[in-house]
Amino acid sequence: MNRRPLIAGNWKMYLTGAEAVRLAQAVAATSGACLDRDVMVAPAFTALAKVCEAVRDTPLQVAAQNVAWGKEGAYTGEISPIMLADLGVRLAIVGHSERRQIFGERDAMINRRLLGALAGDLQPVLCVGETLEEREADHTFSVLEQQMRQCLQGVAKGEMRQMILAYEPVWAIGTGKTATKEQAQEVHAFLRRFLAEAYEKSVADEVRILYGGSVKPENIDSLMAQSDIDGALVGGAALNAESFDRIIRFQ
């Protein structure tokens, strides 16, 4: 199955507007030179407008790091899909483990955000992943199955085809401790089987599954060589133009 690779940078709570534009321009230049793969960046909300403007005529895709649901409403601190689409944003990350662990977002809320994104024509990038405790207790697959089931409630087959998944083991995020390529491949294959059973095989074959958690220039090539790893969601190493350039140019 030929899935187009996607290398995505999650900039988290880093970079002011001017810094974000500078980095986005550098990344756009690399993405323009690598037309056989997709490249995405997710700046902070405050930099989205400027970054969208700066890369408008390039293939670089711009995502939000989270999204609410509905058109508008009394939701202090939230941003609606329409507000994002208005800026030229086309994708939104939902369910990142930092939202889950630090800000208490649960699967039911992530499900609402995801449905909101789909209703607003944003392509969701749904993140799932187990904690170290869960892995050590041998609960990895049951935890992932539960997250998938609950986050994807009410997502129709045609909508699933438009989505992107990211497997981000919580213990690998920002720790320098990457999952081995075998550990990542095993989970990716499991997630793909889940999609085949919950939807159908053609959906499972189409949906791109990214790996995230301490992806670096040194490990990207071996991760991308795995048959079910279709891309990467990169944190720290995406904040540096040179290291992200090397990750985008994985072989």
Whole-number Å distance between alpha carbons of 45 and 43: 6
Decide if residue 65 touches ligand 13P (CB under 6 A).
Answer: no
Whole-number Å distance between alpha carbons of 78 and 45: 10
Burial 88-124 (b: 16+ CB within 10 A, else e): ebbbbbbbbbbbbeeeebebebbbbbbbbbbebebbb
For residue 59, what are its two tokens? 């293939």
Residue of 111, 95, 210 whose CA lies nearest to 164: 210
Q: Which window, 43-51, 106-114, 182-190, 234-242, contacts ligand 13P (CB under 6 A)?
A: 234-242
Decide if residue 30 touches ligand 13P (CB under 6 A).
Answer: no
One residue of 10, 185, 219, 243 binding ligand 13P per CB under 6 A: 10
Q: Which window, 28-36, 51-59, 199-207, 227-235, contacts ligand 13P (CB under 6 A)?
A: 227-235
One residue of 130, 168, 228, 230 binding ligand 13P per CB under 6 A: 168
Decide if residue 233 touches ligand 13P (CB under 6 A).
Answer: yes
| 139 counts as catalytic | no
User: Which residue, 48 or 199, is less far from ligand 13P as judged by CB?
Assistant: 48
User: Which residue, 175 or 202, is less far from ligand 13P as judged by CB?
Assistant: 175
| 197 counts as catalytic | no
Query: Which residues within the stretch 89-108 sit at the binding site for ligand 13P (CB under 6 A)?
Result: 96
For residue 135, what are its two tokens? 């892995």
Whole-number Å distance between alpha carbons of 68 and 77: 10
Which residues are part of the catalytic machinery? Answer: 96, 168
